[in-house]
Each structure stands twice: as C-alpha cells, then as structure tokens.
C-alpha cells in the first residue's frame, strides 16, 4: 500500500498533520466553541421550508452572486452596509482563504499576534505565503503602539486581528484596530467570529469600514447562529475588495441549500441572539466560579474561557474526559480552554474542576 511519504506532495507539507480537535461522543462537549443550544424548533421549521422551496430547482446551478443572502447579511449587520459590501463562503475559514488567495501568495506575508487562531498559519501555508507571528503581551492584550511597531518592523502584506481572540477570549479595542488600519499598506482583516458574545456588541470594527477601504471584517454563523454543521461564514468590506474575492472563488461555491438555510436563519436573529445571551451568562459564571476555586481565568468576550493556574493541562483533559466532559488543551502552558455550555453543562465542568482542585 502506498503511504503518504511515497506521494509527490509539496515539500512544505511533509511531516504535517491535518488540523482538527477530538470529535468524541461524550455527554458534555466544551472543546470546540460550538453553540451549546440546538437550533430552536420554530427556526428549524422555517429553515426546512426555505430549503423545500429551493429543492425543485436543484437541477440548476445556484445564484452565483447569492444576492438574497448578501442582502440578508447587510440587514443583519447594519451600520449602513450594502449588499455589494458583503462576501460569504462555506465557513469563515473559506472566506479567510479567499482573502489570502486574492491578497497573499508566494513572496507575500501574513502577520498576526500570537497566541491566536491556529488556522491562520495553515491558511498562509496553503497559499504559499510567509507566516509572521508576533507575541502578545503576557496578559494577551494588544496596544496601538505594539501594533504600529510590528507593522513598521515587518511591513506585512496582510494583517489578521482576531477579536475576540481565539484561544484567549481577549477583545481588541477600536483604537488598536484603527492603528493597524492606518499604518498597514496592505489588507487588515478583523476576525470577529465571536463578536456576538462580546460584553459590548457595539464596539465592532464594522464602524471603521467607511474610513479604511483596505479594512475587512469577517464573521461566522457557526457560533451565534448555531450553524457549525451548515458552514456559513461572511465578511464586510469595500466593494472593490469583494470584486477581488470573486477572482479566486470556485464557481457556484455556495449551494442553493446553504443559501436558503442561511437566509431563513437570519430572519430569526433575535431568537438566536437570546440564546447567545444565555451563553454569555454561563461564560461569565465560568470566570467567577473558577476564579473562586483558585484557578486563573482570563477575561473573555467570546463564548469560551481560557483558564490559567492548571498544573498539568493534559492530565486535566484526561481526568475530565473520564467523567464525560471534553475540554481543550490549546498548548499554552498551565492553561485549558473551556467553552461555555448550557447551565447544566457549565455546572458539570465547574464541579469537575473543583474536585480536581481539591485533590
């Protein structure tokens, strides 16, 4: 049998392993920042009806420009956005890939501030561009001065700012984002995958778009809209940026089923965001109660908490898994990442962490 090593793959891919977190069927899954709540029944029924209306025409290719969906996203985001400023893909990872395909590539560089989303260097490698990781401060925050200095030193072609940041939950203030947009010569993308979970949802980089034509803001439906299994991501940017992304997308990349499901879900944004409020409360509960147990949870504006003060992250991971609780060891010393779940799931993980601390 042929092995991977026998195949003529690219040299820079040899020795790598695919991206992925454990997919284990346990009672409490708090490891990949999914929305803990199922899609509400009334929302699911509307989605099914929208899909049913699209199915008879499935013999035809879908709307290549997904005009109805783009209008729905513009309406949802607000801030005076127009459909021609919206782009979408099969999950925000595909949207980020489109950005790097259009503005990156061999001989170009992608800069971000680490620790951050682990897909960024993989996406850069996929298009043959250089990854430039710049360390954050010890508390994982960023300042306008630090961003300006990094951009001046490295002169990157693309900058990714994750806010709230994965895996730390840290929000980036608008002054810092504006410092990046004003000082970078290339593209600055703010990855707001967890924006709906922020303590102050109004503090979004969407408010800066009209002043910086090379600023992009990406979002996802995987988190707030409980659509991780549907795969829909999107961004807002200058219309010229959207035109550039058209050059690299695959034909008809968003299926008619995907478009119909997303349009229907967006009609119920108020219902979905009420579930987000519940998860924000459980997120804050994790910070308070784990802190009271002697752990060191970091402030979070996302739907997860990075918990410091963990003596052995792998041992903690295994001990909780034995109790049917799945969390994430993200590779940062003495930390684990815990997604906010339902009230019952949050109670279970807090009780398990308390027992470990008592031992």
What band does 14 get if pLDDT is binned at 50, 70 and 90? confident
Kindly tell me if the per-residue pLDDT of 27 is higher than 90: yes
- Note whether 128 and 105 are within 8 A (CB): yes
Q: Which of 225, 221, 191, 194 is nearest to 205 (CA)?
A: 191
> What pLDDT is stored for residue 15 in this prediction?
84
**Per CATH, domain 41-267 is 3.40.50.2000:** no
Provide the CA 147 distance to its chain's centre, in angstroms: 21
Kindly tell me if the per-residue pLDDT of 20 is higher than 90: no
- Side by side, the strands of the sheet bearing 233-236 are 86-89, 233-236, 215-220, 187-191, 158-162, 109-114, 130-135
Kindly tell me if the per-residue pLDDT of 1 is higher than 80: no
Element (H, E) at 318: helix 313-322
DSSP 322-358: HTTEE-B--S-TT-EEEE---HHHHHHHHHHHHHHHH
Cα–Cα dist 323/350, whole Å: 12
- pLDDT, tens digit, 9 for 90 and up, residues 261-280: 999 999 999 998 889 999 99
The pTM assigned to this predicted structure is 0.95
- pLDDT, tens digit, 9 for 90 and up, residues 290-318: 999 999 999 999 999 999 999 999 999 99
- Note whether 258 and 90 are within 8 A (CB): yes
> What pLDDT is stored for residue 12 in this prediction?
86
Share of the chain above pLDDT 70, in %: 100
| Helix and strand element counts for the chain (H, E) | 11, 12
Cα–Cα dist 303/283, whole Å: 6
What average pLDDT score do residues 189-217 get?
A: 97
What band does 74 get if pLDDT is binned at 50, 70 and 90? very high
**Per CATH, domain 22-38+270-358 is 3.90.1150.10:** yes
Cα–Cα dist 186/104, whole Å: 10
- pLDDT, tens digit, 9 for 90 and up, residues 92-128: 999 999 999 999 999 999 999 999 999 999 999 999 9
Cα–Cα dist 302/325, whole Å: 20
Q: Is 112 helix (H, G, I), strand (E, B) or coil?
A: strand
Cα–Cα dist 151/143, whole Å: 13
Cβ neighbours of 129 (radius 10 Å): 23
E strand intervals along the chain: 28-29, 86-89, 109-114, 130-135, 158-162, 187-191, 215-220, 233-236, 296-297, 304-308, 325-326, 336-339
The domain locations on the chain are 22-38+270-358, 41-267
């Amino acid at each position: 049998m042929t092995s991977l090593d026998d195949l003529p793959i690219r040299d820079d891919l040899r020795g790598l392993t695919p991206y992925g977190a454990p997919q284990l069927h346990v009672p409490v899954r708090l490891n990949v920042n999914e929305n803990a709540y199922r899609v509400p029944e009334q929302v699911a029924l509307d989605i099914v009806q929208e899909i049913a209306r699209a199915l008879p025409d499935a013999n035809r290719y879908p709307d290549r420009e997904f005009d109805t969906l783009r209008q729905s996203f513009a309406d949802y985001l607000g801030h005076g956005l127009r459909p021609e400023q919206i782009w979408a893909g099969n999950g925000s990872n595909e949207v980020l890939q489109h950005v790097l395909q259009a503005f990156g590539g061999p001989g170009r560089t992608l800069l971000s501030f680490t620790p951050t989303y682990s897909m960024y260097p993989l996406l850069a490698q996929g298009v043959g561009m250089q990854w430039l990781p710049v360390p954050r401060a010890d508390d994982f925050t960023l300042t306008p001065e630090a961003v300006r200095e990094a951009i001046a030193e490295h002169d990157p072609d693309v900058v990714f700012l994750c806010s709230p940041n994965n895996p730390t939950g840290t929000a980036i203030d608008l002054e810092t984002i504006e410092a990046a947009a004003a000082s970078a010569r290339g593209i600055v993308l703010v990855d707001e995958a967890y924006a709906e979970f922020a303590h102050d949802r109004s503090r979004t980089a969407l408010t800066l778009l009209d002043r910086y034509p090379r600023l992009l803001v990406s979002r996802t439906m995987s988190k707030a809209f409980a659509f991780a299994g549907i795969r829909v991501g999107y961004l807002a940017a200058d219309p010229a940026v959207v035109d550039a992304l058209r050059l690299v997308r695959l034909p008809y990349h968003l299926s008619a089923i995907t478009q119909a499901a997303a349009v229907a879900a967006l009609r119920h944004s108020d219902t979905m965001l009420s579930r987000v409020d519940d998860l924000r409360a459980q997120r804050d509960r994790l910070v308070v109660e784990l802190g009271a147990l002697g752990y060191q949870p970091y402030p979070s504006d996302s739907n997860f908490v990075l918990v410091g003060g963990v003596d052995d992250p792998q041992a903690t991971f295994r001990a909780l898994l034995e109790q049917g609780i799945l969390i994430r060891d993200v590779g940062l010393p003495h930390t684990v990442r815990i997604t906010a779940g339902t009230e019952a799931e949050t109670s279970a993980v807090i009780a398990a962490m308390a027992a470990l601390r008592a031992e």
